[in-house]
Amino acid sequence: MGMDIRKIKKNELEKFKKMQNYAFGKWKDKIEEKDDIFDWFKNAENIGVFKEDELVSGLIIHDFEQIVRKDVKRMGGIGGVATYPEYRGKGYISKLMKKSFDIMKENCQSVSMLLPFKESFYEKYNYVTTNNNMKLEVNLKSLKHYQDYSAEGEWEEIRKPSVDSRDSYLSFVREIALKKYHGYVLVDRKSKGIWNLYSKNNLIVFIKRGNEIVATAKYSKKGFQDVFETGIIDINQIMWKDITARNMLFKYFTKHLDQIEKIKMYIPYGVNFYSWFKNNSEIIVDIHQFPWMARIIDLKKALNNIEINKKGSLIISVEDKFCDWNNKTFKLENKNDSLKVEETEQKEDLVISIDGISALLYGAFCLDEIEHRYKIEYLNHSKRELIRKWSQKR
């Protein structure tokens, strides 16, 4: 029987959706006809393996942007990787992954990220494990001390449905994330459908100082009648410019104390969140079940212009068994605290595998751990300290 790997056509998306339901959800004989049912596939590359024109395996490449060390990179978000059980073990996903690397290169997506069902599976394709977010759950009473908080200036709280606030919200998020959040994925690039899916029935509050937005949160809310005497506010994104703005945002949420008992929120790793709360001995910290995994697709574009913190230059030879275009020797040089990358024929200072350099870029592990896990062969050992300095996020 003939096999073909190609893009999934628009009139074949229902078949793809049924495959997704089988792999990740509940099987349905018929896909419900709803306007947003295929939003997950819009503005993405959907590729599949077909046997005699029958879809048997597929994956999605979303077109996102990611903040990598204060530079914005085009990112291929791999998702929906699925194969019907009777076709597993035939290498179809391996073929799709290799095809996805070619597509991401053509689309100028220099980095890729995915949420794995099993890390060891994607390690075969040189993805490396990175941190996922932490989520807190606390009693809203632990923020009660913000009720009487005051600050100089004119302050305003503006609450709107998320569907009415997309542009101003994402503009503020981009501004703050660029300054603070290495690894943050921006979803405003050609992804209105995904925004609609993740923001449905959500609210957005803006905290303004004068005419300037200085803090925001996107959240859903269930009152005590919905959840049996325990109202919940679930914040799926929260950002602020400064501590005063953060405190005014917390003050807004304390205004729900009569109806809400619990509040949940995502926070970045490394934040001393205990100092935000008082009299709460039952803070629940939930680390997502799966970590994120990341990989460099195009080394030159991925490393170029990232922020680094030590003068110097380095010649590296890269080994990548899936992306031939990375199998070259590159000169890396600090120019005005920004990394510049070009191909070179100079003698290399070290040889490094693509997963090793991916781990360095994302700060996934310290240098000692990376040397233990991945291939780094020093031909000029004096460059090790430079590598260590460059791998530290500023």
Q: Tell me, what CATH number does 249's domain have?
A: 3.40.630.30
Task: Provide the β-strand partners of residue 46.
Answer: 60
Q: Kindly report which listed range (167-176, 295-304, 352-361) carries the lowest average pLDDT score.
A: 167-176
CB contact at 8 A, 245 and 205: no
What is the Cα–Cα distance from 26 to 88, expressed in whole angstroms?
A: 19
57 belongs to a structural domain: yes
Tell me how far CA of residue 123 lies from CA of 93, 102, 319, 364, in angstroms: 14, 18, 15, 14
Residue 77 has φ and ψ, to the nearest 5°, of: -95, 110
pLDDT (average), residues 84-109? 95
Read off the amino acid at residue 77. G
Nearest to 96 by CA among 120, 123, 61, 64: 61
24 belongs to a structural domain: yes
Domain boundary among 237, 269, 287: 287
pLDDT band at 38 (very low <50, low <70, confident <90, very high): confident
SS3 at position 330: strand
User: Does pLDDT of 226 surpass 90?
Assistant: no
pLDDT at 289: 60
86 belongs to a structural domain: yes
Q: Kindly report which listed range (22-31, 313-322, 343-352, 370-379) carries the lowest average pLDDT score.
A: 22-31
pLDDT (average), residues 285-310? 89
Same domain, 210 and 259: yes
pLDDT at 325: 98
Same domain, 186 and 105: no
123 belongs to a structural domain: no
pLDDT (average), residues 338-357? 96
Same domain, 353 and 381: yes
Q: Which residues have a Cβ under 8 Å from the Cβ of 255 and sit 6 or more positions away? A: 147
Same domain, 243 and 184: yes
User: Does pLDDT of 394 surpass 60?
Assistant: no
126 belongs to a structural domain: no
CB atoms under 10 Å from CB of 14, counted, come to 14
Domain that holds residue 168: 134-287
Compute the mean pLDDT over every residue in the chain, rounded to the nearest whole number: 90
Residue 273, both tokens: 């969140």
384 belongs to a structural domain: yes
Tens digits of residue pLDDT in 117-141: 889 999 999 999 988 778 899 999 9
Same domain, 211 and 228: yes
pLDDT at 158: 97
What is the Cα–Cα distance from 324 to 134, expressed in whole angstroms?
A: 36
CB atoms under 10 Å from CB of 251, counted, come to 20
Tell me how far CA of residue 109 lies from CA of 63, 214, 246, 297, 298, in angstroms: 8, 31, 34, 7, 7
Q: Which residues have a Cβ under 8 Å from the Cβ of 86 and sit 6 or more positions away? A: none
pLDDT band at 39 (very low <50, low <70, confident <90, very high): confident
Name the pTM for this structure. 0.90
Nearest to 157 by CA among 215, 232, 88, 89: 215
Place of tokens 């697709």: 297
Domain boundary among 246, 262, 287: 287
Whichever domain contains 360, its CATH number is 3.30.1050.10
Same domain, 297 and 239: no
Same domain, 77 and 169: no
Q: Give the dihedral sign, CA 106/107/111/113.
A: negative
CA 28, distance to chain mean position in Å, is 30
Same domain, 174 and 252: yes
Same domain, 208 and 310: no
Tell me how far CA of residue 330 lies from CA of 11, 184, 364, in angstroms: 44, 27, 22
Q: Kindly report which listed range (35-44, 51-60, 293-302, 330-339) carries the lowest average pLDDT score.
A: 35-44
What is the Cα–Cα distance from 71 to 391, expressed in whole angstroms?
A: 15
Q: Tell the burial category of 10 from Cβ atoms under 10 Å away from its Cβ (0-12, 13-18, 19+).
A: exposed
Same domain, 139 and 268: yes
Q: What percent of the chain has pLDDT over 90?
A: 65
DSSP-assigned letter for residue 237:
E
Q: Kindly report which listed range (282-296, 327-341, 364-378) carries the lowest average pLDDT score.
A: 282-296
Place of tokens 């008992």: 261
pLDDT band at 291 (very low <50, low <70, confident <90, very high): confident
pLDDT at 65: 93
Same domain, 104 and 211: no
236 belongs to a structural domain: yes
Residue 11, both tokens: 């009139």
Q: Tell the burial category of 11 from Cβ atoms under 10 Å away from its Cβ (0-12, 13-18, 19+).
A: exposed
pLDDT at 76: 96
Tell me how far CA of residue 50 lies from CA of 16, 95, 165, 217, in angstroms: 11, 12, 41, 43
Nearest to 142 by CA among 297, 250, 7: 250
**How would you label 148-169 residue by residue, b for 16+ Cβ within 10 Å and e otherwise?**
eeeeeeebeeeeeebeebeeeb
Domain count, the chain: 3
Tens digits of residue pLDDT in 157-194: 999 999 888 889 999 999 999 988 888 888 766 666 67
pLDDT at 191: 65
Tens digits of residue pLDDT in 53-96: 899 999 999 999 999 999 999 999 999 999 999 999 999 999 99
119 belongs to a structural domain: no
Same domain, 177 and 267: yes
